[in-house]
Chains A and B, each alone.
Chain A
Amino acid sequence: MKISKNIIRPYGDTANDGKMQFSFSLPVPASEYGKEAARLLLKQMGLQDIEVCGMRDLHEGFTHFIAYATTTVSIDGSRIRVKVVETPVMDMAATDEYISQHIGRPLTVIGACIESDAHTVGIDAIMNMKGYNHRYGLERYRMFNAINLGAQVPSETLLARARCENADAILVSQVVTQKNIHIKNLTHLIELAEAEGLRGKMLFICGGPRITHELAIELGYDAGFGTGSYATDVASFIAITIDERIEN
Chain B
Amino acid sequence: MERARNAAARIADSIDWLFRDFSSVTIERTVLRLLGIDGAGKNGKPLPNVVVDHLAELQALKRGAAWWVTNAAVARDVDPQEVAEMVGWDEIDLTTIPVQDNALVLRRMEEIAERTLAHLRLQRARREEYLQKFGARRRPAIYVIVATGNIHEDVIQARAAAREGADIIAVIRSTAQSLLDYVPYGATTVGFGGTYATQENFRIMRTALDEVSEEERRYIWLTNYASGLCMPEISAMGALERLDMMLNDAMYGILFRDINPRRTLLDQYFSRMINAYAGVEIQTGEDNYLTTADAVEKAYTVTASQLINEQFAIKSGIKPEKMGLGHAFEINPDLPDSLSYELAHALLTRTLFPAAPVKYMPPTKFASGNIFFTHLLDAMFNFVGQLTGQGVQLLGMMTEAIHTPHLVDRSLAIENAQYIFRAVGNLAEHIQLEPDGFIPRRANDVLAQAADFLEGVADEGLFIALGKGEFADIKRCETGGKGQMGVFPKDDDYINPFLTKMKRELGLS
The chain A residues found within 8 Å of chain B, CB to CB, are 23-25, 56, 58-60, 62, 64, 116-121, 124-125, 128-130, 133, 150-152, 176-179, 181, 209, 227
Given known A-B contacts A25-B406, A64-B411, A121-B365, A152 and B292 have beta carbons under 8 A apart: no
Residue numbers in B under 8 Å from A227 (CB-CB): 368-369, 401
Partner of A209, one of B159, B193, B258, B402: B402
Partner of A60, one of B163, B332, B369, B404: B163
Q: Are A60 and B192 in contact (CB under 8 A)?
A: no
Instruction: Give chain B nearest CB distance to A244 CB in angstroms.
Output: 32
CA distance A7 to B473 in the complex (A): 52
Partner of B175, one of A23, A116, A121, A125: A116
Residue numbers in B under 8 Å from A117 (CB-CB): 175
Q: Which 9 A-B pairs have the closest CB atoms?
A: A59-B163, A60-B160, A116-B176, A124-B292, A25-B408, A59-B160, A64-B408, A176-B193, A181-B192
Instruction: Give chain B nearest CB distance to A42 CB in angstroms.
Output: 16
Residue numbers in A under 8 Å from B408 (CB-CB): 23-25, 58, 64
CA distance A133 to B333 in the complex (A): 11
B78 at the A/B interface (Cβ < 8 Å)?
no
B137 at the A/B interface (Cβ < 8 Å)?
no
Instruction: Give chain B nearest CB distance to A104 CB in angstroms.
Output: 31
Interface centre among A118, A128, A129 (most CB of B within 10 A): A118
Residue of B at shortest CB range from A133? B332
Residue numbers in A under 8 Å from B160 (CB-CB): 58-60, 62
B403 at the A/B interface (Cβ < 8 Å)?
yes
Instruction: Give chain A nearest CB distance to B356 CB in angstroms.
Output: 27
Residue numbers in B under 8 Å from A23 (CB-CB): 408
CA distance A181 to B191 in the complex (A): 10
Q: Are B473 and A129 in contact (CB under 8 A)?
A: yes
Q: List 11 A-B contacts (CB under 8 A).
A: A25-B408, A58-B160, A59-B163, A59-B164, A120-B292, A121-B365, A128-B292, A130-B294, A151-B257, A152-B176, A209-B402
B293 at the A/B interface (Cβ < 8 Å)?
yes
Residue of B at shortest CB range from A116? B176
Q: Are A58 and B401 in contact (CB under 8 A)?
A: no
B156 at the A/B interface (Cβ < 8 Å)?
yes
Partner of A178, one of B192, B258, B401, B411: B192
B485 at the A/B interface (Cβ < 8 Å)?
no
Residue of B at shortest CB range from A226? B369
B357 at the A/B interface (Cβ < 8 Å)?
no
Interface residues of B in 34-48 (CB under 8 A from A): none
Number of A-B contacts (CB under 8 A): 74
Secondary structure of the A contact surface, majority rule: loop
B291 at the A/B interface (Cβ < 8 Å)?
yes
CA distance A152 to B481 in the complex (A): 13
Q: Are A177 and B403 in contact (CB under 8 A)?
A: yes
Residue of A at shortest CB range from B176? A116
Instruction: Give chain B nearest CB distance to A114 CB in angstroms.
Output: 12
* Interface membership of chain B positions 150-168, coded 1 if the CB is closer than 8 angstroms to chain A and 0 otherwise: 0000001001100110000
B87 at the A/B interface (Cβ < 8 Å)?
no
Interface centre among B175, B258, B411 (most CB of A within 10 A): B175
B495 at the A/B interface (Cβ < 8 Å)?
no
Given known A-B contacts A58-B407, A62-B407, A176 and B175 have beta carbons under 8 A apart: yes
Given known A-B contacts A58-B408, A58-B411, A60-B160, A179 and B291 have beta carbons under 8 A apart: no
Q: Are B403 and A152 in contact (CB under 8 A)?
A: no
Residue numbers in A under 8 Å from B291 (CB-CB): 121
CA distance A123 to B14 in the complex (A): 35
B179 at the A/B interface (Cβ < 8 Å)?
yes
* Interface membership of chain B positions 369-401, coded 1 if the CB is closer than 8 angstroms to chain A and 0 otherwise: 100000000000000000000000000000001
* Interface membership of chain B positions 397-431, coded 1 if the CB is closer than 8 angstroms to chain A and 0 otherwise: 00001111011100110010000000000000000
Partner of A121, one of B174, B258, B292: B292
CA distance A130 to B401 in the complex (A): 21
Q: Are A118 and B411 in contact (CB under 8 A)?
A: no
Residue numbers in B under 8 Å from A133 (CB-CB): 332
B317 at the A/B interface (Cβ < 8 Å)?
no
Q: Are A152 and B179 in contact (CB under 8 A)?
A: yes
Instruction: Give chain B nearest CB distance to A106 CB in angstroms.
Output: 22
CA distance A25 to B473 in the complex (A): 43
Residue numbers in B under 8 Å from A24 (CB-CB): 408
